[in-house]
Amino acid sequence: MRFFPRSLFFKMALSISLVLAVIFGASSYITFRIQSEQALDATRNQAIVLTRALKNTIRIGMETGHVESLMSIFHTVGALPGVEKLRVFDEEGRILYSAKISEIGKLTDELDYAVYRSPERSTPFQSAATGHRSFCMVEPIENEQKCLRCHRKDIEVLGVLDVCLSMEETEKNIEFNRTLILSFTGLAIVLTSGLTSILLRRFVSAPVAKLVRTMESVEAGKLDGRVDIRSGDELGRLGNSFNDMIRKLSEAQDELDKFHHRQLARADRLASLGEMAAGIAHEIKNPLAGIYGAAQVLSREFPEGDPKREILDEMMSLMKRLDQTLRDLLNFSRYTEPQFSPVNVNEVIEKVLFLVKQIPEGKRASVDREFDPGMPEIEADPEQIKQVFLNLVLNALQARPEGCVLTIRTHSEIPTEVPDVKIRNRFVVATVSDNGPGIAADRIGKIFQPFFTTKESGTGLGLSMTRKILDLHDGWITVASEEGKGATFSVFLPRKKL
């Protein structure tokens, strides 16, 4: 198992860990804040309740005349856990009563006195004079009607009750809760991330690693490997599909190997036949020339209209046809290395059209040119490329000798409607279309085979030679035809020699 940062396992594990950290962290932070606020509210409410209760107790004691009992109450309440200050001071800030007898007669804290003098003097506030926070509250004891028996009427405030509750224990609890929450959050993140990593490795990373190893094996040419993923999830279905693909690829490879062997054997036979045909053609060509010459001499011995002369003329016509067949056979069997030079396809086609205009079929034909003006020069053998287009144009003219309509188009790159081509600007294209009878569907796959022809006088080598020349140029040819609607041949040539 590979754990480097580019691996799928590392990326997924890191992403899930970060998501868990964010979720657990946010949840823990919110929980901690809520608990802290609740603890602070509890202390604040306790300070308010204690202050109001003491104020009522002091008022009742003063009204009933039991003032001496206040000191006992102050000592008792002041000794309770968490009570930090309990005192009563007057308008000048001098302490009148206190849970600590040593404070009586002294001035109260400046903060407490300042809060009392502020407009919000009954609001709890925080003090940190003791090194920790405290919740304090100052509550004025106002001079009421019942108090006039003992106090002058012009005195507005009889005293100020000052109560401070320590938050030291609350802060310890808050800190403990913080540590506890952080510990459990960290532990939850670690455990969840670890468990997630184990599950990812078991159900994702391991199957993907098997798939990758099998793909690398297939890429190396070993088609006997299979992906062992035994699950019904997406990866399992992917593994099954990949196994089916390998199986079909292996079967196709076997068929291709068999076909390749058959083609090699056929190529060997064709090469032998070609050599034998070339030898026979050479042996026949010279005697044939002699026979043709003798027939010409004999033909002159008979006057026009003599039946014997007509027979000799027919013999010479058949010998010309045989001579053309022999020449085509020799050209087909002869390997000619292309002589590459800069060639403009538009100019080559124009030369071909000029040549065919000299024959009867060419004179009766109508030619529609749609040449790409931006056609670049390509690296090709001009004579061989001329032979390619001459073969295609002659085939079109012979398909409709009474008057063919030719449409020739050129493109400086492969059009988008041509499928399965990645780099379109590396090739130029020329198409030759006619309005002839078309090619039957059962014959369209055979027209490039040697000696296959549908014409009475054809040798069946023209299109074979055309494809052979294009193979030597690393190009190719395709045909599209529908019976009764003509045919379109497309020639693809690379701009530069590959």
Stated as kind and residue range, the H or E segment containing 403 is none
Residue 485, Cβ density class (10 Å: 0-12 exposed, 13-18 middle, ≥19 buried): exposed
Rounded distance, CA 83 to CA 87, Å? 11
Rounded distance, CA 53 to CA 59, Å? 10
Question: What are the extents of the domains in the chain?
Answer: 8-173, 229-334, 337-494
Phi, psi of 314 (to 5 degrees): -65, -40
Rounded distance, CA 317 to CA 491, Å? 34
- One CATH from 3.40.462.40, 3.90.1330.10, 3.30.1330.60, 3.30.565.10 for 337-494: 3.30.565.10
- One CATH from 2.30.30, 1.10.287, 3.90.400, 1.20.1070 for 229-334: 1.10.287
The CATH class given to the 8-173 domain equals alpha beta
Residue-level pLDDT at 438: 87
Determine how many CB atoms are found less than 10 A away from the CB of residue 144: 11
Please give the span between the terminal C-alpha atoms of the chain, in angstroms, as a whole number: 42
> What is residue 181's three-state secondary structure?
helix
Full strand arrangement of the beta sheet holding 157-166: 95-98, 83-89, 157-166, 134-142, 125-127
Amino acid at 122: S
Question: Tens-digit pLDDT profile for the chain (498 aa)?
Answer: 444 556 666 777 777 778 878 887 888 888 878 877 887 788 778 878 888 888 787 777 776 666 667 777 778 887 888 788 888 888 888 888 888 888 888 888 887 778 777 776 655 556 666 667 777 788 888 777 666 666 667 677 778 888 888 777 777 887 888 888 888 888 887 888 788 777 777 777 677 777 777 777 777 777 777 767 666 666 677 777 777 777 777 777 778 777 777 766 665 665 565 566 666 666 676 677 777 777 777 777 778 777 777 787 778 777 777 776 666 666 655 556 788 999 999 999 999 999 888 888 888 889 999 999 999 999 999 989 998 999 899 888 888 888 899 999 999 998 888 877 777 888 999 999 998 888 888 888 778 776 656 665 555 567 888 888 888 898 999 999 888 888 999 999 999 887
Q: Tokens for 181, please give them.
A: 């929450």
Residue 205, Cβ density class (10 Å: 0-12 exposed, 13-18 middle, ≥19 buried): buried
Residue-level pLDDT at 3: 47
List 222's β-bridge partners, or say none. Answer: none
Instruction: Compute the residue count for the chain.
Output: 498
Q: Tokens for 484, please give them.
A: 């009764």
Residue 420, Cβ density class (10 Å: 0-12 exposed, 13-18 middle, ≥19 buried): exposed
- Equal fold, 8-173 vs 229-334: no
Residue-level pLDDT at 374: 92
Residue-level pLDDT at 1: 44
Q: Tokens for 458, please give them.
A: 């054809």
Rounded distance, CA 198 to CA 9, Å? 10
Q: Going by DSSP bridges, is the β-strand pair 157-166/134-142 parallel, antiparallel, or unpaired?
A: antiparallel
Check residue 205 and report its DSSP letter: I
Distance of CA 288 to the CA centre of its chain: 69
Contact (Cβ atoms closer than 8 angstroms) between residue 158 and residue 143: yes
